Structure 1
Amino acid sequence: MLGIGTVSRKVFGTKNDRQIKKVRPLVARINELEPEFERLSDEGLKEKTEEFKRRVAGGEPLDDILPEAFANCREGARRALGLRAFDVQLIGGIFLHRGNIAEMKTGEGKTLVATFPAYLNALTGKGVHIVTVNDYLAKRDSDWMGKVYAALGLTTGVVYPFQPGEEKRAAYAADITYATNNELGFDYLRDNMKSELSDMFQRGHHYAIVDEVDSILIDEARTPLIISGPAEDRSELYKTLDALAPQLTEEHFNLDEKLRNVTFTEDGNEFVEKRLHEMGILPEEQSLYDPESTTIVHHATQALRAHKLFQRDKDYIVRNSEVVLVDEFTGRMMPGRRLSDGLHQAIEAKEGVAIQPENVTEASVTFQNYFRLYEKLAGMTGTAATEAEEFHDIYGLGVVEIPTNRPIARVDEHDAVYRTAGEKYKAIVETIKKAHAIGQPVLVGTTSIEKSEMLSDLLKQAKVPHNVLNARHHEQEAKIVAEAGRLGAVTIATNMAGRGTDIQLGGNAEMKVMEALAADPEANPDELRQKIEAEHADEKMKVLGAGGLFVLGTERHESRRIDNQLRGRSGRQGDPGRSAFFLSLQDDLMRIFGSERLDKVLSSLGLEEDEAIMHPWVNKSLAKAQAKVEGRNFDMRKQLLKFDDVMNEQRKVIFAQRRDIMEASDLSEIIQDMRQEVIEDLVETYIPPKSYADQWDTDGLRQAVLDKMNLDLPIGDWAEEEGVDDADIVERIARAADESMAAKAAQFGPENMRMIEKQLLLQAIDTKWREHLLRLEHLRSVVGFRGYAQRDPLNEYKSESFALFENMLNGLREDVTQKLARIRPLTEEEQAQMMRQMEEQRRALERAATEGVAQHPSPDGTPAPNPEAVAGFDETRPETWGNPGRNDLCPCGSGKKFKHCHGRLS
């Protein structure tokens, strides 16, 4: 019997169906215009773009221009790429323009879909950002789709790491800019650390289309982007505490795998305290519970986490004596990304590699708050419906499922659940052997590098040829993915999420042609292409006959989206395919999230060894477990965002202030107001309101004014005058300070003085903001304990962070006033001494150049080796540069110091 909900959906259709139905007339209108735009010349397409721009500038809404703009873009893509967009691709483009997430299955052409809303929104002249998950895709898509935009008269740019400044500026100035989420976020932070408007790259946040939107806005939302500088070295502390971690037994700590957390028990605290006393790290009279022990306790906990929660070849790998994190969602390595709060250092100590110093945060932002800067945001992915609530709550984005161009022919089998991991892997190997025997290509999804290599060993024993794609072999990714759809191919992949490349049945014909031309450069390209395409068509037919791509999942992921992404690799563009998941009660998800009930069911059924249970009820039970985990993760991200929102408001204020300062030509009024407030605060401190003259601390005030304003004033004498009150004192100090600053301005010259004021103010803001971020980090780490006192940690954090922010602004006023009060022009003797030092440095550089050493001496004064003398040196390849000093000229040839160019901390 059908449920009421099922019946109503059959009669009225789903909300998604109704949304799609509403835009069908718009698609029909675009199709009607197609013949008109087909008749236009190549120049005519560009003239249409100019016409649309004039209409937008004249106030015509983009929605009114949409049918013509989409028709023009479709024709431009047809001529530039030979691709004519399907109706469903136009539907996807319409919903992206309206600020939604378009959920489109793998192989439906999302890359082309993005060109339609990007073209339409670029007509405003404010720039469009298309966000990809990695640099390879950013470059590939900008080169590929850049042909379409060029045919329409628009410019395209791509942003990538270590990009020369002028090239990056041009990329952001283009009509459409391709970039990764990381580069966009870091450039936003870097821009807001600049001291000149002309040095800033980003020109605003108008409209962004985020590819693999679930990966970027949900999976990576928990990790903030941080620009940091090195802090003090604590290598010995990490090593000592690492030696302590293996001595701890199960009664010394509580391990919570669900929350990925570990805490010391009372026995553990006593044991650690005793051992730290013996090691001499903790003074005899000091307890672990003393406030002075906070840092040691923190790092002892991090050492324990490194040993109990972080596994080599799953969470990280060790490559070239360096701990490199592995992205749990995509299986990619993340070089340069480090865990914070000393955790990365604890893992380095555990693995016995060189320990890098901890960093101090200079600027940070979460992806959640960065992408909420955009006036309009849209996204594309193959899997978003399961997270629709989060997209709506946090980003205000709706999710629309776009129909496929052809019906899906893939068969999704019920999950097969085995009692043990051994039985499961035995069944997997047998299933792969059968598929391989009939020529069916198999894509096997694993959850970690360790498991992918273990399965690889089993397939080697079974003599099944295969490829492995994980963080260790990511360099061969494009080739492995290109061959994954070939006849009889077996590919083991760690988390295919966000790989960005379709698996084509019979293999990738274009890549086969490129490889053949590279192997035989003298071959006739046309003949070679015809031959390879004929072979490819024949192989594709055989693969179709074998049943298409078979996707085999070896485990369920915590998130249904990751499973759906893996499953979605099969059944591309209506191709036949098959998918199945093989599970065991020993899998992490089953073990951690309650497989006891299922175990009882399997036992009562009396399952034989190597026998599996396959039933829709099992699927539902697993989906519920995954939904629970997803809900918990959503709550964690929402809580994180609430805390980050508090800092985000302060970040916006500081960044807006910095921009106002950079835009201002004269800051003397602001400086004067700051000075006035400092004077009023000083007088209020030493001359309390409504107090008698004999209660005034005039000596203290005189000393404070000398310290803060660099003025020695007869404040004691003023206080003895008849009828003088605190307001008179304020006025006299202010007058003296104004006269002193006017005299300084005359000495330096008004223009120089304005520049000095601007630079000092920006430097003071950056220093204070850096200190403030550190205080907020410390506050975040302890505010959770307020819950034990029945106080809401979030409210406590809000009130205390606001008080800290006010203190920061007060300190800023004092710093700027004090520094400006103490600056003075150099004397002739000091100038002569500086000139002598510069001349000596110039001669040293000349000597260095003739002796074959670097263009710039290293910080300790000893010459650094000439990069060009290093064997295999290539200025375009940073890996060949050795280790340039922070103050050396950058080996790339930019003329900047290394620390301001490729060695910039980010």
Structure 2
Amino acid sequence: MSILDKFFESYHEKYLKKIQPLVNEINNFEPKFKSFSDKQLKEKTKEFKQVIRDNKKTLDDILPEAFALVREVSKRTLKQRHYDVQLIGGIVLHQGKIAEMKTGEGKTLAATLPVYLNALSGKGVHVVTVNDYLSRRDAVWMGQIYHFLGLSVSCLNHQQSFLYDPEYKEVDEAKDKIRDELGGFKVVEDYLRPCERNEVYQADITYGTNNEFGFDYLRDNMVFDKRQQTQRGFNYAIIDEIDSILIDEARTPLIISAPDVESSDMYKQFSRIIPNLQKEKDFELDEKLKAVTLTEDGIEHIERLLGMKDIYQEKGIKYLHHLEQALRAQILFEKDKNYVVKDGQIIIVDEFTGRLLPGRRYSGGLHQAIEAKEKVEVQPESVTLSSITFQNYFRFYKKLAGMTGTAFTSDEEFNAVYGLEVIVIPTNKPMIRKELPDKIYKTEIGKLKAVIREIKERYNKKQPVLVGTVS
């Protein structure tokens, strides 16, 4: 173990010792709430809200009692009791830090503790998930706890909005059986009542993806009347898989655009020209930086094909934008990897999840260049009306927290960019899995062959294997 590892281990140990009295205090409330009737438990929310409203106590003051209350309600509704390590995770999240919790340690359940506590302020809590399915699932699953305690829960999906309502649909026996087999949470098709977008943000707790929260913000900034806005402020957010959103996708821009009537047929023209260029002679490709650059020969080749002497002079400037995008579309973007062609349309493939993103388009004319390349109808080029990156959007929140299983490796970046501290949460039971060092290979083929050998070896030993891919 290095000196640096020992330092961080010592720091985390000190932090855990510091909050242990809080954990003990929460545990001390357990016998009390265990003896409460359902009605008595529900009354506690009104009591908490009142003392917060009257400024008699802060959220920190009522944390032990509120966490113990959520634990008891979880036992009654979900048949699941928060472990002490989940209490620790909840404290970390409430304090506006990042909780690194290993896979299977119950991040979703741990988040209910700070979510409930911070929702008592009446200013709204946003729980950010990685996809629409998880936002629906968690709104229904964890919604049982919040609903029991008198809080409203909502869910944002792409072009859909829901409020959690346990009476919205009648559950048949088959679905009840599925629910029981899956550990006590409701089937996601039930209990979600469609609603207007502004109703979603009026709920105490809102589940949704980073994209949906971000695009709603952009749309709110385009309305002429404040009464047309849907969001009501940025109080507190918990981001699941926070390293994926705030590190990997941090600079990814969310863009709302409109058609540009001056868009021309030049994309089609350049889609016929680019295939005539030769790699290395006419252009150079940097696969690491995902950049393609024309050589001197390539520029002369293009000028001959266009019948132009100097494309970089004033007369040729109008061609450069279309040329650059056509070159990127032809060389850097692969069909069935970066995008698919479906029903005459180019549909983007999310590079992190592998999911299709219908309705989303590449900006700056790139989408038109790909349409021309694939010989489908070229839609008018778009002009950007509103744009923001995830990095800038999530800085709006007064308090921000996150969960993941792999945050500590990005600890320095989280601290420098967002002022967020990473705390490693211990596992509930001693971990017997060995964390082996990374292996680096000179070529991708060598790496893939090694992966295949490893899979075969583990398979022959009847060991389970999980292979992670980009998409």
- Decide: shared fold, TM above 0.5: yes
CA contact (8 A) 1:127 1:176 kept: yes
> Which one of the candidate residues 77, 81, 86 is aligned to 1:80?
77
Match of 2:171 in 1: none
TM superposition shift of 1:428: 4.7
Q: Does 1:379 align with 2:429?
A: no
* Mapped partners of 2:387, 2:327: distance in 1: 27
TM superposition shift of 1:244: 1.1
Q: Does 1:222 align with 2:238?
A: no
List alignment gaps of at least 5 residues for structure 1. Answer: 278-283, 448-493, 495-906
CA contact (8 A) 1:264 1:301 kept: no
Q: Tell me whether 434-443 or 231-240 shows the greater mean CA deviation.
A: 434-443
The code of the aligned residue for 2:150 comes to G
> Which one of the candidate residues 333, 338, 347 is aligned to 1:324?
347
Q: 1:95 to 1:292 in 2, by over 3 A?
A: farther
Q: Does 1:128 align with 2:132?
A: no
The code of the aligned residue for 1:57 comes to R
- Give the paired residue count: 437
Match of 2:418 in 1: 395
**SS of 2:467's equivalent?**
strand
Match of 2:312 in 1: 289
**SS of 2:196's equivalent?**
helix
Matches of residues 714-733 of structure 1 in structure 2 within 5 Å? none
* Mapped partners of 1:167, 1:422: distance in 2: 51
The code of the aligned residue for 2:246 comes to L
Matches of residues 644-793 of structure 1 in structure 2 within 5 Å? none
**SS of 1:258's equivalent?**
coil
Match of 2:298 in 1: 268
Matches of residues 12-31 of structure 1 in structure 2 within 5 Å? 13-31=9-27
> Which one of the candidate residues 258, 262, 265 is aligned to 1:236?
265
> Which one of the candidate residues 228, 240, 243 is aligned to 1:211?
240
> Which one of the candidate residues 212, 217, 236 is aligned to 1:183?
212
TM superposition shift of 1:258: 2.5
Match of 1:308 in 2: 331
**What whole-Å deviation, never above 9, does each CA across 1:485-523 have from its counterpart, x for those lacking one?**
xxxxxxxxx4xxxxxxxxxxxxxxxxxxxxxxxxxxxxx
TM superposition shift of 1:135: 0.7
TM superposition shift of 1:70: 0.5
**SS of 1:410's equivalent?**
coil
* Mapped partners of 1:95, 1:172: distance in 2: 25
CA contact (8 A) 1:95 1:101 kept: yes
* Mapped partners of 1:205, 1:416: distance in 2: 42
* Mapped partners of 2:447, 2:384: distance in 1: 46
CA contact (8 A) 1:16 1:401 kept: yes
**SS of 1:114's equivalent?**
helix
The code of the aligned residue for 1:264 comes to L
The code of the aligned residue for 2:220 comes to D
* Mapped partners of 1:423, 1:117: distance in 2: 46
Q: 1:424 to 1:374 in 2, by over 3 A?
A: closer
Q: 1:222 to 1:271 in 2, by over 3 A?
A: same
**What whole-Å deviation, never above 9, does each CA across 1:601-625 have from its counterpart, x for those lacking one?**
xxxxxxxxxxxxxxxxxxxxxxxxx
TM superposition shift of 1:243: 1.2
TM superposition shift of 1:217: 1.4
Q: Does 1:160 align with 2:157?
A: yes
> Which one of the candidate residues 138, 142, 146 is aligned to 2:139?
142
**SS of 1:129's equivalent?**
strand
* Mapped partners of 1:426, 1:175: distance in 2: 51
List alignment gaps of at least 5 residues for structure 2. Answer: 162-193
Q: 1:298 to 1:111 in 2, by over 3 A?
A: same
Q: What RMSD in Å do the two structures reach over aligned CA positions?
A: 2.4
* Mapped partners of 1:420, 1:100: distance in 2: 38
**What whole-Å deviation, never above 9, does each CA across 1:738-789 have from its counterpart, x for those lacking one?**
xxxxxxxxxxxxxxxxxxxxxxxxxxxxxxxxxxxxxxxxxxxxxxxxxxxx
**SS of 1:274's equivalent?**
helix
**What whole-Å deviation, never above 9, does each CA across 1:140-199 have from its counterpart, x for those lacking one?**
000000000011111111112223695322221111111111111111111222233332
Q: Does 1:354 align with 2:377?
A: yes
**What whole-Å deviation, never above 9, does each CA across 1:244-268 have from its counterpart, x for those lacking one?**
1121222222322232222222222
* Mapped partners of 1:65, 1:424: distance in 2: 53
Match of 2:190 in 1: none
CA contact (8 A) 1:30 1:70 kept: yes
Q: 1:434 to 1:257 in 2, by over 3 A?
A: closer
The code of the aligned residue for 1:212 comes to E
CA contact (8 A) 1:130 1:211 kept: yes
* Mapped partners of 2:216, 2:443: distance in 1: 49
Q: Report the TM-score, using the length of structure 1 for normalisation.
A: 0.46
* Mapped partners of 2:457, 2:421: distance in 1: 43
Q: 1:419 to 1:90 in 2, by over 3 A?
A: closer
% identical aligned pairs:
56
> Which one of the candidate residues 37, 41, 47 is aligned to 1:45?
41
TM superposition shift of 1:410: 1.8
TM superposition shift of 1:13: 4.8
TM superposition shift of 1:230: 0.9
* Mapped partners of 1:419, 1:183: distance in 2: 40
TM superposition shift of 1:426: 5.5
* Mapped partners of 2:287, 2:199: distance in 1: 47
TM superposition shift of 1:303: 1.1
**SS of 2:293's equivalent?**
strand
* Mapped partners of 1:191, 1:49: distance in 2: 32
* Mapped partners of 1:293, 1:97: distance in 2: 57
* Mapped partners of 2:221, 2:454: distance in 1: 55
Q: 1:423 to 1:211 in 2, by over 3 A?
A: closer
CA contact (8 A) 1:235 1:355 kept: no
TM superposition shift of 1:208: 0.7
Match of 1:370 in 2: 393
The code of the aligned residue for 1:261 comes to A
Which structure shows the higher strand fraction?
A: 2
CA contact (8 A) 1:128 1:177 kept: yes
- Find the structure with the greater CA-based Rg: 1
Match of 1:68 in 2: 65
> Which one of the candidate residues 103, 107, 111 is aligned to 1:110?
107
The code of the aligned residue for 2:292 comes to V
**What whole-Å deviation, never above 9, does each CA across 1:515-542 have from its counterpart, x for those lacking one?**
xxxxxxxxxxxxxxxxxxxxxxxxxxxx
* Mapped partners of 1:336, 1:210: distance in 2: 24
* Mapped partners of 1:219, 1:417: distance in 2: 21
**SS of 1:445's equivalent?**
coil
* Mapped partners of 2:4, 2:33: distance in 1: 45
CA contact (8 A) 1:142 1:156 kept: yes
* Mapped partners of 2:373, 2:253: distance in 1: 25
Q: Does 1:254 align with 2:284?
A: yes
Q: Does 1:411 align with 2:434?
A: yes
Q: 1:269 to 1:25 in 2, by over 3 A?
A: same
* Mapped partners of 1:90, 1:3: distance in 2: 30
Match of 2:29 in 1: 33
Q: 1:152 to 1:431 in 2, by over 3 A?
A: same
**SS of 1:26's equivalent?**
helix
Q: Does 1:299 align with 2:322?
A: yes
The code of the aligned residue for 1:210 comes to I
**SS of 1:14's equivalent?**
helix
Q: 1:212 to 1:239 in 2, by over 3 A?
A: same
CA contact (8 A) 1:135 1:180 kept: yes
Q: 1:26 to 1:254 in 2, by over 3 A?
A: same
The code of the aligned residue for 1:127 comes to G
Match of 1:887 in 2: none
